[in-house]
Structure 1
């Protein structure tokens, strides 16, 4: 009986240690992956929809921006955000949070812009103004009624 109890205790210790080591490895891998994603920030794709030139992800989201034109820091620009899909409804509200790659400062660039219907082949859109306080790479997270739709990456010139 003591032998069986000893074997069971040793087994539990081995399983417990293995589980902890596996969990540590998974956490380390997740941290490495998160760091790699941070390092690999690249400007999003440019695409066209009907007569509009946009940057973002075709058939999901994007905002008006001509390829080859610069987005300039501290200069307010007019941008139409466009969305595709049934989950985005007219009357919903858009918030865009921007994060600077190097400083990791996050700020709200668009606050409660109302979606006003189809435009340029998109199912819905919202006219907005955005001002970036500094140059560099920015990740723009687009939220519709508090739900993250996706992110767009842009280069901002000084």
Structure 2
């Protein structure tokens, strides 16, 4: 009989402990570490385990609800918060944001397959009533903890609730982050900080992006998303790169910038940029089966693998990994 269960369902069947169960020794260790906190610490442990018992079935239900929003199957994201995880994590962890009184403001559930440099889905669930957000601009920004690099991920005026809900319980956005590691995700209302949490973004593969055919040419990149004509890159020499993009007018209208990061580094360098004043709509029209295109000259300063990061109007699209000889 064929096993039709998806990968995330199989992953949830496995116990979360290395030896298959929570042992008495583990229990004594937890209580021993908390012993210095007195009754308050022990009460906090009880509340934590009760909350965990409630969150497990809730998380399973959430996976069923938002599964279609994610681009593919993968392991369920682990619960996380400020300071959770590290740059070597394989799954982007869910997070929670609280106010100064300890009240939950919102949660963030990333696509389990989310990786640096790749567009993925992220689900924000806000607890406040809709009136808190109506006719206000909700902006989501991110700051890379290690480098200080800042990204604006989304900005929209709120005029209606999430479909099927009374509030913003299912506020879905899609974006890409250029670097792996910890990111501080900040939510602003009318440019004032509403809440923040930490998101640990796994790095993506440094294997050169695959080739795909479009029109009469072979391109390297993400099929039906972004691609460049396959050309060799030589370190220290400028190389013409013809970019091709697929997407909506709103997504592809605006100034154009290409940044790059080398494997093993977190330093982003700008390798191409149009004048934002003279090129408010930098990408040219359809060609070679793509919706838009633009020719560029790109120089990569060192040999090695590089991730090319194209931005339109300050928003990162998907990336292309190339190797400079």
Bigger Cα displacement from structure 2, 109-118 vs 138-147 = 109-118
1:146 is aligned to 314
Gaps of 5+ in 2: 1-38, 52-78, 91-179, 182-200
2:265 is aligned to 103
Kindly state the Cα deviation for residue 8 of structure 1 after the two structures are TM-superposed: 9.0
1:94 matched to 2:256: yes
Q: In structure 1, how many angstroms separate the alpha carbons of the residues matched to 2:234 and 2:288?
A: 25
Out of 225, 229, 246, the residue aligned to residue 60 of structure 1 is 225
Higher relative contact order at CA 8 Å, sep ≥6: structure 1 or structure 2?
Answer: 1
Instruction: Give the TM-score normalised by structure 2.
Output: 0.39
Out of 131, 137, 140, the residue aligned to residue 299 of structure 2 is 131
Kindly state the Cα deviation for residue 11 of structure 1 after the two structures are TM-superposed: 3.2
Kindly state the Cα deviation for residue 124 of structure 1 after the two structures are TM-superposed: 0.2
1:83 is aligned to 245
2:308 is paired with a residue whose SS is strand
User: For the structure 1 residues 141 and 9, does the alpha-carbon distance in structure 2 shift closer, same or farther, using more than 3 Å as the test?
Assistant: closer
Matches within 5 A, 1:9-20: 10-15=42-47
User: For the structure 1 residues 115 and 9, does the alpha-carbon distance in structure 2 shift closer, same or farther, using more than 3 Å as the test?
Assistant: closer
- Alpha-carbon RMSD across the aligned residues, in angstroms, is 3.2
User: For the structure 1 residues 116 and 29, does the alpha-carbon distance in structure 2 shift closer, same or farther, using more than 3 Å as the test?
Assistant: same
Gaps of 5+ in 1: 1-6
2:289 is aligned to 121
| Count of aligned residue pairs for this structure pair | 145
1:3 is aligned to none
1:11 is paired with a residue whose SS is helix
Is residue 209–residue 221 contact of structure 2 (8 Å, CA) maintained in 1? yes
Deviation by residue 1:41-94 (Cα, 9 ceiling, x = unmatched): 11101112112221100100011115xxx31111111111100111444x5222
User: For the structure 1 residues 124 and 77, does the alpha-carbon distance in structure 2 shift closer, same or farther, using more than 3 Å as the test?
Assistant: same
Is residue 38–residue 101 contact of structure 1 (8 Å, CA) maintained in 2? no
2:247 is paired with a residue whose SS is coil
Q: In structure 1, how many angstroms separate the alpha carbons of the residues matched to 2:288 and 2:273?
A: 23
Structure having the higher strand fraction is 1
1:48 matched to 2:213: yes
